[in-house]
Every structure is written in C-alpha cells, then in structure tokens.
Structure 1
Amino acid sequence: MPTAREIMTNDVSCVREQDDLRTAARRMAELGVGSLPICGDDNRLKGMVTDRDIVVKVLAAGKDPADVTAGELAQGEAVTIGADDDAAEILRTMGQHKVRRLPVIDGHDLVGIVAVADVARSLPDRPVGDLIEAISERA
C-alpha cells in the first residue's frame, strides 16, 4: 500500500499566522487551491485555512478579511499524517476527522499535502467511496 510520501503533493506553500485573510485568499487563487497550511514564525504547522473558512467564518459574519489573520482561524492542533503512514492510515484519519486534505509531516517539518484526489488515484474505488461517504455525512 502506498505511503503519504508517495502520493502527496510536495510543493506546499504556507500562509503565515500573521497574514491577513485577503492575502491568504489571493495566494489560494494564484495557486489554484482551496486550502493552505498556516505556519508560524517557527515554521511549524499551526493549522489549515480553507476558502470555506474565509467565506463562512469571515465574510458571512460581516468581518473584513483584511482585519482577520490566518492565525485567528487556526483552531487547536492541526490534523496531520506522517510521511511514512500508509494509505489505509490516511483513509482512517480523513474519515475520523471528516477532512478532505491532510498536511504531511516528517518529524516536525511540513513536507506535503495529501488530498482525497491523491488517495483516489492510488487506491481501488471501494475504500475511496467509503471515505467520501464518511467525510460527507452531516453531524
């Protein structure tokens, strides 16, 4: 079974904790992605920010994205996967936490992102279908 390191996207760009969400949104648009890892001054992962976070937690709440930092949206410890964890562990972690993307960590370093699409390309249909069902359920 492939590991996270084998199927991840390894060209990862972070948004800094102190960057405002307008900057984060611009970077997402430039990169053509829907989420970015939030990295602190110590270069450690602090969380993830998604385009949905910006819309629901900032714009819909009437806040100005230029006045909200990425760090303000980093809630608790980020859900991650180890670089050498296999696809079964990726599926379990995504399903358990109902996430579609996982930062990949090697030691304390962010080395990539693994998305549902990455897993789908590397595994048979059934486990991926089960994952989509698990992360799409409403609480």
Structure 2
Amino acid sequence: MGTSGVDKTVQDVMHRGAQCVGEHDTLRTAAQMMRDLSVGALPICGDDDRLKGIITDRDIVIKCCAEGKDIDQTTASELAHGLVWVEARSSVEEALQKMEQHQIKRLPVIENHRIVGMVSEADLAKELPDNKLAEFVHRVYAPA
C-alpha cells in the first residue's frame, strides 16, 4: 500500500503551485480568482512575493459583504488573517498539529521562503488511519 501517512512529508500530499492574490488586490479580484481556480482559500502575497496571510471565501462573505463593505474597495490585506504555514519538508503530523492548534483547514506550504503549495485537511485525511482521522476532525472542528 505504499508509505504510511506518518512517514510522508507535506510536499508529498500538498497541492502544488498555489496562486496568490496580491495584498493590494480587491476582494472582487480574490473572489474571481477563487471561482476560476475552484478553491475556497487563497494565500495573500505581498509586493515582496512573501506570504502575508490567507483569505477564505467565508472571510469575504462574513467580513466584507455582511458588514456592508465594498468588495471593489476592500483589499485582500485588510482581511488577511493567520500567518500560519508549514515547511514543505515537515511531516504530515506537524501539519496536523498546526491545523489542530489553530483550528484551520488549510495551510500554505513554504519552501526556501516562497509559497510552493497548499495543503488541506482533505489532503492530510487521506493519509491517516481511521482512529487518527476521527481525532483530527474532532480537534479541528471543536468549538474554540
């Protein structure tokens, strides 16, 4: 059956080539990118090509639309949150621990100070035995 999940690194299971939304791009641009890429989250990169945060489709709806803000004036950096990431060579277990600790479902993956991909709970879940999967889901979705 191959290598077990605990022996794999994040780069073995991540989605490669994550596209960033620019920190000065509007939320409309971010939403259109999410639509075009069929993703629910985007890393936010600065002018220096460094990770500044992450934005989700839920952030746009809750923190912009529901608050009456203009999606054509609000920038991605205004809603940036959680500068949590994982190194590409980190273990699947380390990524799981970060997701559990921060109760997040997606992590940008960094290599040589640049974003190289994204890893999601679904990517990691495929690598876990059933008992670990149940524990992980409980911790990530537990109320804060």
Normalised by the shorter chain, which TM-score bucket? over 0.9
The equivalent position to 1:94 in structure 2, one of 99, 116, 119, is 99
- Tell me, in whole angstroms, the C-alpha distance in 2 between the residues paired with 1:100 and 1:126: 19
- Tell me, in whole angstroms, the C-alpha distance in 2 between the residues paired with 1:138 and 1:25: 27
- TM-score normalized with structure 1 length: 0.95
Name the SS of the counterpart of 1:85 in structure 2.
coil
The equivalent position to 2:115 in structure 1, one of 103, 107, 110, is 110
Question: Does 1:64 find its partner at 2:70?
Answer: yes
Deviation of 1:120 (Å): 1.2
- Tell me, in whole angstroms, the C-alpha distance in 1 between the residues paired with 2:60 and 2:44: 13
Q: One-letter code of the match for 2:117?
A: G
- Tell me, in whole angstroms, the C-alpha distance in 1 between the residues paired with 2:121 and 2:32: 23
- Equivalent residue number for residue 49 of structure 2: 43
Deviation of 1:107 (Å): 2.5
Number of residue-to-residue matches in the alignment: 138
- Tell me, in whole angstroms, the C-alpha distance in 1 between the residues paired with 2:107 and 2:27: 20
Deviation of 1:127 (Å): 1.7
- TM-score normalized with structure 2 length: 0.92
Alignment gaps of 5+ in structure 2: 1-6
Shift >6 Å, 4+ stretches:
none
- Tell me, in whole angstroms, the C-alpha distance in 2 between the residues paired with 1:54 and 1:125: 33
- Equivalent residue number for residue 22 of structure 1: 28
Structure 1 vs Structure 2 CA RMSD:
1.0
Name the SS of the counterpart of 2:126 in structure 1.
helix
